[in-house]
């Protein structure tokens, strides 16, 4: 197969695989209620496939540097989430997401002007998410209506994630590891969830899912830290397994603590 044809074939395959993961995860989230849904959407279901494809195309050093960027750029996603939770109480899906994304882009730009090491990146994650956890806590309880799934909703989820994967795969060769890490950590799953759930179940129910997601979002940032720490010594494939295992363990522990009565 010619090189261009092989690239297009593998790109289409990568986009389809990633979209399939996100569709399955978000359908489960909608059926399971706000808290369980938040645990589902904070798993690395869009960033994870993006990093798998990055690892297939680049060496471990590239993966590690991109992962460090994703650690500190998890903080703008926390700002995005908190902004959406507040906006969604009174505004429609497009305005709520647009304002949230504007905050994300501004914070991403500001953070990218600094030089980061792992420890301060984790410290900023913990501090920001702790503050937002308490700020949006009052918005976490709202009923989640059960509605039939529409094909158009599934198509929108697939398109959002497919575009992200296409951008990561095609641009990573020219924009370098840091910008690749920014692109890979773009909150595609959050954005798809916000837009679709808001249209289907209303702003308050969607805001409840996103308000619950902050604990899982901290776990996602730490998951990226695990990838950064293990990519070079263990190799990218094994490091990706460690990161996924950490993310799943974090969310499982959050669920168990919640069932034990801890107000997470």
| Proportion of the chain above pLDDT 70, given as a percent | 83
Local confidence band at 147 (pLDDT 50, 70, 90 cut-offs): low
DSSP 146: -
Say what the pLDDT of residue 149 is. 65
Cβ–Cβ under 8 Å, residues 240 and 48? yes
CA 75, CA 129: separation in Å to the nearest integer? Answer: 8
Say what the pLDDT of residue 6 is. 47
Q: How many residues does the chain have?
A: 264
Which position has the higher pLDDT, 150 or 114? Answer: 114
CA 86, CA 128: separation in Å to the nearest integer? Answer: 16
Say what the pLDDT of residue 158 is. 73
E strand spans, the chain: none
CA 106, CA 163: separation in Å to the nearest integer? Answer: 21
User: Per residue in 174-231, pLDDT tens?
Assistant: 777 888 888 778 887 788 778 878 887 889 988 998 999 999 999 999 999 999 999 9
> 97 pLDDT exceeds 60?
yes
∠185-190-194 over CA atoms, to 5°?
155
CA 235, CA 62: separation in Å to the nearest integer? Answer: 11
> 7 pLDDT exceeds 60?
no
Q: Name the pTM for this structure.
A: 0.85
CA 247, CA 135: separation in Å to the nearest integer? Answer: 24
Say what the pLDDT of residue 2 is. 47
């Amino acid at each position: 197969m010619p090189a261009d044809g092989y690239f297009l074939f593998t790109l289409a395959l990568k986009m389809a695989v990633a979209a399939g993961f996100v569709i399955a995860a978000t359908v489960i989230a909608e059926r399971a209620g706000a808290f369980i849904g938040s645990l589902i959407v904070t798993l690395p279901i869009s960033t994870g496939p993006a990093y798998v494809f990055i690892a297939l195309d680049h060496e471990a050093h590239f993966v590690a540097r991109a992962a460090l960027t994703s650690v500190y750029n998890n903080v703008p996603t926390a700002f995005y989430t908190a902004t959406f939770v507040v906006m969604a109480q009174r505004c429609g899906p497009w305005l709520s997401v647009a304002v949230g994304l504007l905050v994300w882009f501004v914070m991403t730009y500001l953070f990218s002007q600094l030089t980061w090491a792992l420890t301060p990146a984790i410290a900023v994650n913990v501090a920001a998410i702790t503050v937002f956890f308490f700020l949006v806590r009052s918005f976490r309880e709202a009923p989640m209506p059960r509605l039939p799934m529409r094909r158009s909703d599934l198509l929108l989820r697939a398109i959002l994630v497919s575009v992200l994967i296409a951008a990561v795969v095609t641009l990573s060769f020219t924009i370098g590891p840091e910008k690749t890490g920014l692109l890979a950590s773009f909150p595609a799953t959050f954005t798809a969830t916000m837009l679709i759930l808001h249209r289907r179940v209303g702003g308050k129910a969607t805001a409840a899912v996103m308000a619950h997601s902050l604990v899982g979002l901290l776990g996602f940032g730490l998951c990226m830290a695990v990838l950064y720490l293990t990519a070079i010594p263990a190799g990218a494939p094994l490091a990706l397994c460690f990161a996924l295992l950490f993310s799943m363990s974090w969310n499982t522990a959050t669920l168990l603590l919640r069932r034990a009565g801890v107000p997470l």
